[in-house]
């Protein structure tokens, strides 16, 4: 449909086009059938007239008259056809003629008929051209060696046939404008609910994302309303997600920015190089922490459970080794040992995951374990593979977590007595696990500490 085209006009155009096409086909068929039937009727009329003359001739032959009287009677039959047409007749009378031949002698004829034989055909119907005119001819053989020829001008017959047949098409021709008007009014009535829906949407508050609840809608518009409501629901979820991200960012960045401002002021107001260097170190640490918070906020905003994502076969041991290697300097600084407990023989296992998700999970879990582990302890990463499940365990030997506090670890911005974290690491992990339909458990480590286990189903 062209841009800006009216549904009513388009529907009317196609409805009329379809109607005219079908009507034209039906009209052509009706015209053809009507013309054929009229032709048959006129042919029957020619045969009937020929048999009427044959009957008259038979009666004349049976009459007890001498040859002179019969000739006089034949002349009296012929004279009316030879006279000029009177006002009492019809203008088409002269277009229907007859001849009666006795062997090669014309013994009787109608007026305006050519003197020559109209056809050489012995019997039945024929089309002949005589004196520039085409005639429809019927030949009947009389028992007394006489031949009766009835003829009708083909152009006159065609004119009559066309008039009769075309009159059958007149109601269709006159009905098209009336039908167009009725279709226009009917379509307009049918589009009233759509116009009402459009009016409701036009008058709606642009900030409102509440669902539509219009009643008495046709089934087609109910489907449109459901689609609009689904779109509004998605827009509400998107706006809530954006508002949640803005609130999270504002909540988490307010304090770090204030601290950065304080450190910068201390650096500017330092009275000696040592104080300035200390303030700049603190400023650098604050910038790193703020950068980490922003990165985690962006990651958390991206990891919505309802968003779709492609899965790829990932080698979990290879990813685990790389993440532990990346975090090794931080672990070395805190004098904590990082271990991958799996052997090389298990490296052939692949699990379907979103690209990059496993790196985020391991970085957050190991970083969180480093933050809460004591110097000289160790952190182990272990994979357990089964037929339909892959289990990841991150085991630390720190101070552990009280049972009543474990559910809080997965909440956004929760700090377990540690102001250096953003409180988003485990929330991000929980979101990734939710997207992969996995399961996260927190259990105490034997001898102290916390073990986080994640079951990936495949």
3-state helix/strand/coil string of 369-386: HHHHCCCCCEEEEEEEEC
Residue 304 parent element (H or E): none
Distances (CA, A) of 430 to 270, 297, 331, 411, 426: 44, 14, 24, 9, 6
Contact 162, 152 (CB under 8 A): no
Cα 340 to Cα 317: distance, rounded to the nearest angstrom: 8
**Angle in degrees, 0-180, between the axes of helices 219-269 and 192-202, rounded to the nearest 10:** 10
Q: Percent of the chain having pLDDT more than 70?
A: 76
Which fold, 7-82+94-112+121-175?
A: Beta-Lactamase (3.30.450)
Contact 50, 150 (CB under 8 A): yes
pLDDT digit string (tens) for 276-325?
A: 888 888 888 778 867 866 776 676 566 665 556 678 888 999 989 988 88
Among the listed residues 418, 411, 422, the one whose alpha carbon sits nearest the alpha carbon of residue 371: 418
pLDDT of residue 79: 47
pLDDT digit string (tens) for 235-269?
A: 888 887 777 677 666 655 665 777 788 888 888 88
Contact 296, 428 (CB under 8 A): yes
Write down the domain spans for the chain: 7-82+94-112+121-175, 219-301, 309-457
Contact 285, 256 (CB under 8 A): no
What's the CATH architecture for 219-301?
Orthogonal Bundle (1.10)
What's the CATH architecture for 309-457?
2-Layer Sandwich (3.30)
Radius of gyration of the chain (CA): 53
Kindly give the pairing relationship between strand 378-385 and strand 312-314.
unpaired
Residue 381 pLDDT > 90: yes
Among the listed residues 350, 277, 273, 288, the one whose alpha carbon sits nearest the alpha carbon of residue 319: 350
How many CA atoms does the CB half-sphere of 157 hold within 13 Å?
A: 23
pLDDT of residue 296: 61
pLDDT of residue 82: 43
Q: What is the mean pLDDT of the chain?
A: 77
pLDDT digit string (tens) for 51-86?
A: 888 887 777 666 555 555 555 555 555 444 444 444
Residue 419 pLDDT > 50: no
- How many C-beta neighbours within 10 Å does residue 10 have? 13
Please state the rounded mean pLDDT for residues 119-126: 87
Beta strand extents in 92-236 (DSSP E only): 96-102, 105-109, 124-130, 133-142, 146-153
Among the listed residues 38, 165, 70, 147, the one whose alpha carbon sits nearest the alpha carbon of residue 103: 147
């Amino acid at each position: 449909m062209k841009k800006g085209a009216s549904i009513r006009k388009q529907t009317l155009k196609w409805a009329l086009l379809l109607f005219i096409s079908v009507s034209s086909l039906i009209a052509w068929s009706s015209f053809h059938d009507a013309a054929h039937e009229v032709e048959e009727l006129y042919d029957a009329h020619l045969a009937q007239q020929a048999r009427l003359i044959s009957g008259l001739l038979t009666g004349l032959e049976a009459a007890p008259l001498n040859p002179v009287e019969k000739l006089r009677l034949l002349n009296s039959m012929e004279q009316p056809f030879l006279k000029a047409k009177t006002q009492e007749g019809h203008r088409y009378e002269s277009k229907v003629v007859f001849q009666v031949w006795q062997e090669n002698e014309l013994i009787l004829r109608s007026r305006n008929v050519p003197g020559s034989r109209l056809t050489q055909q012995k019997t039945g119907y024929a089309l002949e051209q005589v004196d520039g005119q085409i005639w429809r001819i019927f030949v009947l053989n009389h028992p007394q060696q006489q031949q009766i020829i009835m003829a009708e001008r083909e152009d006159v017959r065609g004119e009559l046939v066309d008039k009769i047949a075309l009159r059958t098409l007149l109601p269709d021709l006159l009905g098209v404008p009336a039908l167009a008007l009725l279709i226009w009014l009917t379509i307009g009535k049918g589009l009233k609910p759509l116009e009402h829906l459009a009016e409701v949407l036009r008058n709606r508050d642009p900030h409102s994302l509440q669902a539509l609840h219009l009643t008495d809608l046709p089934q087609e518009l109910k489907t449109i309303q459901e689609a609009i409501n689904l779109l509004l629901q998605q827009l509400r979820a998107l706006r809530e997600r954006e508002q949640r991200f803005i609130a999270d960012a504002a909540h988490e960045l307010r304090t770090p920015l204030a601290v950065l401002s304080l450190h910068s002021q201390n650096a500017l107001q330092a009275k000696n190089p040592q104080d300035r260097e200390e303030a700049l170190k603190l400023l650098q640490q604050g910038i790193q922490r703020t950068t980490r918070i922003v990165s985690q906020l962006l990651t958390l905003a991206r990891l919505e459970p309802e968003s779709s994502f492609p899965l790829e076969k990932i080698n979990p041991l290879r990813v685990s080794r790389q993440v532990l290697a990346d975090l090794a300097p931080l672990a070395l600084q805190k004098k904590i040992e990082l271990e991958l407990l799996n052997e090389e023989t298990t490296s052939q296992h692949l699990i379907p995951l979103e690209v990059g998700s496993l790196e985020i999970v391991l970085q957050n879990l190991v970083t969180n374990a480093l933050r809460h582990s004591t110097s000289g302890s160790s952190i182990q990463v272990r994979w357990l593979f089964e037929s339909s499940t892959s289990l990841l365990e991150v085991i630390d030997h720190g101070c552990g977590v009280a049972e009543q506090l474990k559910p809080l670890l997965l909440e956004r911005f929760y700090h377990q007595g540690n102001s250096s974290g953003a409180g988003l690491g485990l929330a991000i992990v929980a979101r990734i696990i939710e997207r992969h339909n996995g399961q996260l458990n927190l259990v105490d480590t034997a001898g102290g500490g916390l073990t986080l286990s994640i079951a990936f189903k495949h």
